[in-house]
Amino acid sequence: MLMQQRMFNLPPVIHFGPGVSKNVGKIALEYGAKKVFFIYDKALGEMPKGIAKILKDDGLDVLEFNEIVPNPPEEMMEEAAKIGRDANVDLVLAVGGGSTIDTAKGVKVLLTNPAPLYQYFGMGTVKNPTPPLIAIPTTSGTGSEVTSMTIITSPKNSRKYAVGGRHVPCEAAIADPELLIPLPAPVTASTGMDALTHAIEAYTCKLATPISDIFAIKAIELISNSLVKATYDGENLEARSDMLMGSLMAGVAFDNAMVALTHSIAHPLSARCGLGHGAANAAVLPYVMEYNAPVCPERTIDVGVAMGLNLQGLSREEACKKVVDAIFDLNKTLKIPTLKEAGVQKSVFQDIVNDAMTYEPPTQFNPRKVTAADVLAILEKAY
């Protein structure tokens, strides 16, 4: 297959399986750690105490930071990094969802590179080597544990931006499905739809490659077959395992392809309206798929086949409609709120359109050429 020159990137060592998080201390020691900067979400309850005990039992000093908020702002990362620098930490450990892991990536950068974080916007702009980072995801959504970028919110600009490159990603990912069992159904649903969006957009965007396709299609299969089970039967370890693997594989896929218009709309929805990233993606995804299907019908149909849909004997248009309808139905089953139900005001639509068209790189990788009128129409439908 003739194609342009590309680089395929899979940054971390991946430790996967039930109970694997119990090895976190030994894994940290493999990187020569002595003092661990333990960043976690306080909403995890007692779980972080167990992780901290494992670290201490293996002879590691532990400094804790748990002031994590959704859509993490740059100021919080800079504050945490100063705490870590003053304490001379030599390894960062993140336990939590995408916001926690993204925060830890920002901290990792700022431990050895001067603030402000915004100056590293883009890919490959972080110059100084950074300390090792280990991530233990507690949601099956963002795939941040295996991606080479962090997504940061700038409150003063009402905008999200990415910092990426070889000094940003985790050195190790510890993916333990047992840690996902307590995850509430609404969080399981929204983060799972986030992962499904990653996989679908990685497969249908302009930068998809044969290698990223393999990860994307398998992720779609795993997530489609397990998301409802994991949401409504949280103790189903097989479903939790498949969701965690699907999220991880979707992360690898979009880190090496790209995402598309769904993300270009979801990012400003989060930055301007405070909407969770997974919920924003889910609310918009079927409308973007419907919009894109005419220019990538074969790939849309491939998505449906991976979801287990029977598309035999249907025309391309009928098959694509069935795929999009399946995403609508999945949102309903998972009780994903519409933009109106999520509290988004129509008065912000024009700002979101402008952001999507002006500041969001995924727009240019969407399979269909996008206009401002198209984005506004999608928002109106998703409302």
| Contact call for residues 191 and 278 (beta carbons, < 8 A) | yes
126 with 56, same domain: the answer is yes
Question: 326-344 pLDDT, tens per residue?
Answer: 999 999 999 999 999 999 9
Closest listed residue to residue 103, CA positions, set 130, 81, 129: 81
pLDDT at 297 over 60: yes
| Residue 192 and residue 167 share a domain | no
Q: Domain with 100 in it: what CATH number?
A: 3.40.50.1970
* CA gyration radius, the chain: 20
Instruction: Give the pLDDT confidence score for residue 4 in this predicted structure.
Output: 66
* Structure-token pair, residue 22: 């119990």
Looking at the chain, the whole-number percentage of residues with pLDDT higher than 90 is 90
Phi, psi of 136 (to 5 degrees): -120, 100
Q: Quick one: average pLDDT of 161-177? A: 94
Parent domain of 24: 13-180
CATH no. for residue 211?
A: 1.20.1090.10
Q: Which residues contact 204 (CB under 8 A, 6 or more apart)?
A: 260, 289, 292, 296, 299, 300, 303, 367
d(CA 220, CA 248): 11
Strands 172-175 and 133-137: parallel
Do 142 and 223 lie in one domain? The reply is: no
Specify if 7 maps to a domain: no
Residue 274: left (phi > 0), alpha (psi -120 to 50), or beta? left
Q: Are residues 129 and 203 located together in one domain of the fold? A: no
> pLDDT tens, 81-101?
999 999 999 999 999 999 999
Question: Three-state DSSP class for 121?
Answer: coil
Shared domain check, 267 and 249: yes
Check whether residue 339 and residue 370 sit in a common domain.
yes
Would you say the pTM of this structure is higher than 0.75? yes
> Are 229 and 246 part of one and the same domain?
yes
Mean pLDDT on 170-187: 96
Query: What's the distance, CA 201 to chain centroid?
Result: 12
- Tokens representing 129? 């080597």
Query: Residue 1 has what pLDDT?
Result: 45
- Identify whether residues 140 and 233 lie together within a single domain: no
Is 4 within the bounds of a domain?
no
Residues 152 and 210 in one domain: no
Give the chain's domain count.
Answer: 2
Residue 118 · residue 112 · CB < 8 Å? no
